[in-house]
Amino acid sequence: MTEREKMLHGHCYDSRDDELIAMYWRAREVLQAFNGRIDDRNRMTGLRSLLVGVESDVWIEPPFFCEYGAHIQIGSGSYLNVNCFLQDCANISIGRNVLVGPGVQICTASHPVKSSERIGEGNSYVTSAKPVKIGDRVWIGANVSVLGGVTIGDDVVIGSGSVVTRDIPSGVVAYGVPCKPQQIIAANP
Protein backbone atom coordinates (compact mmCIF):
# COMPACT_ATOMS: atom_id res chain seq x y z
CA MET A 1 0.00 0.00 0.00
CA THR A 2 1.42 3.43 -0.93
CA GLU A 3 1.62 6.25 1.60
CA ARG A 4 -1.17 8.04 -0.27
CA GLU A 5 -3.36 4.93 -0.07
CA LYS A 6 -2.61 4.65 3.66
CA MET A 7 -3.51 8.33 4.07
CA LEU A 8 -6.84 7.96 2.25
CA HIS A 9 -7.73 4.79 4.20
CA GLY A 10 -7.19 6.45 7.59
CA HIS A 11 -3.95 4.63 8.43
CA CYS A 12 -0.82 6.30 9.75
CA TYR A 13 1.27 7.52 6.83
CA ASP A 14 4.52 9.31 6.02
CA SER A 15 3.56 12.84 4.94
CA ARG A 16 7.06 13.32 3.54
CA ASP A 17 6.59 10.55 0.97
CA ASP A 18 7.86 11.51 -2.52
CA GLU A 19 4.42 11.19 -4.17
CA LEU A 20 2.74 13.32 -1.51
CA ILE A 21 5.50 15.94 -1.60
CA ALA A 22 5.16 16.18 -5.39
CA MET A 23 1.37 16.64 -5.04
CA TYR A 24 1.96 19.27 -2.34
CA TRP A 25 4.33 21.31 -4.55
CA ARG A 26 2.02 21.08 -7.56
CA ALA A 27 -0.79 22.44 -5.39
CA ARG A 28 1.44 25.31 -4.23
CA GLU A 29 2.17 26.30 -7.85
CA VAL A 30 -1.50 26.28 -8.88
CA LEU A 31 -2.60 28.10 -5.71
CA GLN A 32 0.06 30.78 -6.12
CA ALA A 33 -1.19 31.46 -9.64
CA PHE A 34 -4.86 31.45 -8.52
CA ASN A 35 -4.28 33.66 -5.48
CA GLY A 36 -2.19 36.09 -7.52
CA ARG A 37 -4.96 36.64 -10.08
CA ILE A 38 -7.64 38.24 -7.92
CA ASP A 39 -8.73 40.59 -10.70
CA ASP A 40 -8.88 37.88 -13.40
CA ARG A 41 -12.41 36.67 -14.15
CA ASN A 42 -11.01 33.39 -15.52
CA ARG A 43 -8.94 32.50 -12.47
CA MET A 44 -11.14 29.46 -11.69
CA THR A 45 -9.92 27.77 -14.91
CA GLY A 46 -6.44 27.17 -13.52
CA LEU A 47 -7.76 26.11 -10.14
CA ARG A 48 -9.99 23.48 -11.78
CA SER A 49 -6.85 21.73 -13.07
CA LEU A 50 -6.05 20.99 -9.42
CA LEU A 51 -9.56 20.54 -8.01
CA VAL A 52 -10.90 18.02 -10.51
CA GLY A 53 -13.83 17.06 -8.25
CA VAL A 54 -15.33 20.55 -8.32
CA GLU A 55 -18.48 21.29 -10.36
CA SER A 56 -18.19 23.90 -13.10
CA ASP A 57 -20.34 26.55 -11.38
CA VAL A 58 -18.55 26.46 -8.01
CA TRP A 59 -17.02 29.81 -7.06
CA ILE A 60 -13.97 30.08 -4.81
CA GLU A 61 -12.68 33.48 -3.69
CA PRO A 62 -8.93 34.03 -3.35
CA PRO A 63 -6.94 33.61 -1.32
CA PHE A 64 -7.73 29.91 -1.11
CA PHE A 65 -5.50 27.18 0.28
CA CYS A 66 -5.50 23.38 0.29
CA GLU A 67 -3.02 20.59 0.99
CA TYR A 68 -3.19 18.59 -2.26
CA GLY A 69 -6.44 19.48 -4.04
CA ALA A 70 -6.91 15.99 -5.43
CA HIS A 71 -9.18 14.82 -2.59
CA ILE A 72 -11.79 17.59 -2.70
CA GLN A 73 -15.30 17.33 -4.16
CA ILE A 74 -17.59 20.38 -4.24
CA GLY A 75 -21.15 20.24 -5.55
CA SER A 76 -22.96 22.55 -7.93
CA GLY A 77 -23.85 26.06 -6.80
CA SER A 78 -21.45 26.12 -3.84
CA TYR A 79 -19.41 29.17 -2.82
CA LEU A 80 -16.24 29.44 -0.71
CA ASN A 81 -15.43 32.90 0.60
CA VAL A 82 -11.96 34.36 1.13
CA ASN A 83 -9.18 32.73 3.13
CA CYS A 84 -10.53 29.17 3.32
CA PHE A 85 -8.18 26.22 3.94
CA LEU A 86 -9.10 22.64 3.02
CA GLN A 87 -6.56 20.17 4.39
CA ASP A 88 -7.45 17.29 2.11
CA CYS A 89 -5.25 14.54 3.57
CA ALA A 90 -8.52 12.58 3.53
CA ASN A 91 -11.47 13.13 1.22
CA ILE A 92 -13.46 16.33 1.71
CA SER A 93 -16.92 16.25 0.20
CA ILE A 94 -18.96 19.46 0.11
CA GLY A 95 -22.53 19.16 -1.20
CA ARG A 96 -24.62 21.33 -3.49
CA ASN A 97 -25.54 24.96 -2.76
CA VAL A 98 -23.21 25.23 0.22
CA LEU A 99 -22.05 28.63 1.48
CA VAL A 100 -18.68 28.61 3.23
CA GLY A 101 -17.80 31.80 5.09
CA PRO A 102 -14.43 33.55 5.22
CA GLY A 103 -11.62 31.97 7.19
CA VAL A 104 -13.17 28.49 7.37
CA GLN A 105 -10.77 25.60 7.95
CA ILE A 106 -11.56 21.97 7.21
CA CYS A 107 -8.75 19.92 8.73
CA THR A 108 -8.72 16.17 8.16
CA ALA A 109 -5.28 15.32 9.58
CA SER A 110 -4.54 14.30 13.15
CA HIS A 111 -1.56 13.24 15.25
CA PRO A 112 -1.19 11.18 18.45
CA VAL A 113 -1.54 13.21 21.64
CA LYS A 114 1.57 11.76 23.31
CA SER A 115 4.72 13.32 21.89
CA SER A 116 6.57 10.00 22.16
CA GLU A 117 4.01 8.53 19.73
CA ARG A 118 3.68 11.66 17.57
CA ILE A 119 7.36 12.21 16.66
CA GLY A 120 8.74 9.52 14.38
CA GLU A 121 12.19 8.74 13.07
CA GLY A 122 14.17 11.55 11.50
CA ASN A 123 11.90 14.20 13.04
CA SER A 124 8.92 13.08 10.95
CA TYR A 125 5.45 13.19 12.45
CA VAL A 126 3.05 10.29 12.75
CA THR A 127 -0.05 11.43 10.88
CA SER A 128 -3.45 9.96 10.08
CA ALA A 129 -6.53 11.51 8.52
CA LYS A 130 -10.30 11.09 8.50
CA PRO A 131 -12.71 12.34 5.81
CA VAL A 132 -15.19 15.21 6.15
CA LYS A 133 -18.61 15.18 4.52
CA ILE A 134 -20.82 18.27 4.29
CA GLY A 135 -24.37 17.87 2.98
CA ASP A 136 -26.44 20.02 0.65
CA ARG A 137 -27.73 23.56 1.37
CA VAL A 138 -25.39 24.10 4.32
CA TRP A 139 -24.22 27.52 5.49
CA ILE A 140 -20.95 27.56 7.42
CA GLY A 141 -20.27 30.90 9.08
CA ALA A 142 -16.98 32.77 9.27
CA ASN A 143 -13.94 31.32 11.04
CA VAL A 144 -15.40 27.86 11.63
CA SER A 145 -13.08 24.87 12.09
CA VAL A 146 -14.34 21.45 10.98
CA LEU A 147 -12.22 18.50 12.13
CA GLY A 148 -11.61 15.14 10.47
CA GLY A 149 -14.21 12.41 10.77
CA VAL A 150 -17.15 14.84 10.89
CA THR A 151 -20.34 14.61 8.82
CA ILE A 152 -22.61 17.65 8.61
CA GLY A 153 -26.12 16.85 7.38
CA ASP A 154 -28.29 18.70 4.86
CA ASP A 155 -29.91 22.10 5.53
CA VAL A 156 -27.60 23.00 8.42
CA VAL A 157 -26.34 26.39 9.62
CA ILE A 158 -23.03 26.38 11.54
CA GLY A 159 -22.54 29.60 13.54
CA SER A 160 -19.42 31.70 13.15
CA GLY A 161 -16.42 30.77 15.26
CA SER A 162 -17.62 27.24 15.96
CA VAL A 163 -15.35 24.21 16.25
CA VAL A 164 -17.10 21.17 14.77
CA THR A 165 -15.69 18.04 16.43
CA ARG A 166 -18.72 15.72 16.06
CA ASP A 167 -21.38 14.93 13.49
CA ILE A 168 -24.19 17.48 13.10
CA PRO A 169 -27.62 16.12 12.04
CA SER A 170 -29.66 17.59 9.18
CA GLY A 171 -31.98 20.54 9.69
CA VAL A 172 -30.39 22.32 12.63
CA VAL A 173 -28.63 25.52 13.60
CA ALA A 174 -25.47 24.53 15.47
CA TYR A 175 -22.79 26.62 17.10
CA GLY A 176 -20.28 26.73 19.91
CA VAL A 177 -16.98 25.30 21.03
CA PRO A 178 -17.52 22.42 20.70
CA CYS A 179 -20.28 22.91 18.12
CA LYS A 180 -23.68 21.47 19.14
CA PRO A 181 -27.19 21.66 17.67
CA GLN A 182 -29.03 24.59 19.27
CA GLN A 183 -32.21 24.92 17.20
CA ILE A 184 -34.21 22.82 14.75
CA ILE A 185 -34.92 24.52 11.45
CA ALA A 186 -38.50 24.18 10.23
CA ALA A 187 -38.76 22.09 7.07
CA ASN A 188 -39.28 24.03 3.84
CA PRO A 189 -42.93 23.98 2.68
Write out the catalytic residue numbers.
111
Which pLDDT value is given to residue 189? 47
Domains of the chain in start order, with CATH, are: 3-184 (2.160.10.10)
Q: What digits encode the pLDDT tens for the residues 99-122?
A: 999 999 999 999 989 888 888 777
pTM score > 0.85 for this model? yes
**Would the pLDDT of 175 be above 50?**
yes
Label residue 155 left, alpha or beta by phi (over 0 means left) and psi (-120 to 50 means alpha).
left
Mean pLDDT value of segment 38-57: 85
Which pLDDT value is given to residue 2? 96
**Would the pLDDT of 161 be above 80?**
yes
**Would the pLDDT of 46 be above 90?**
no
Q: What digits encode the pLDDT tens for the residues 8-33?
A: 999 999 888 999 999 999 999 999 99
Q: What digits encode the pLDDT tens for the residues 61-72?
A: 999 999 999 999
Q: What digits encode the pLDDT tens for the residues 136-148?
A: 999 999 999 999 9
- Mean pLDDT of the residues in the chain: 93
Residue 188: pLDDT band with limits 50, 70, 90: low
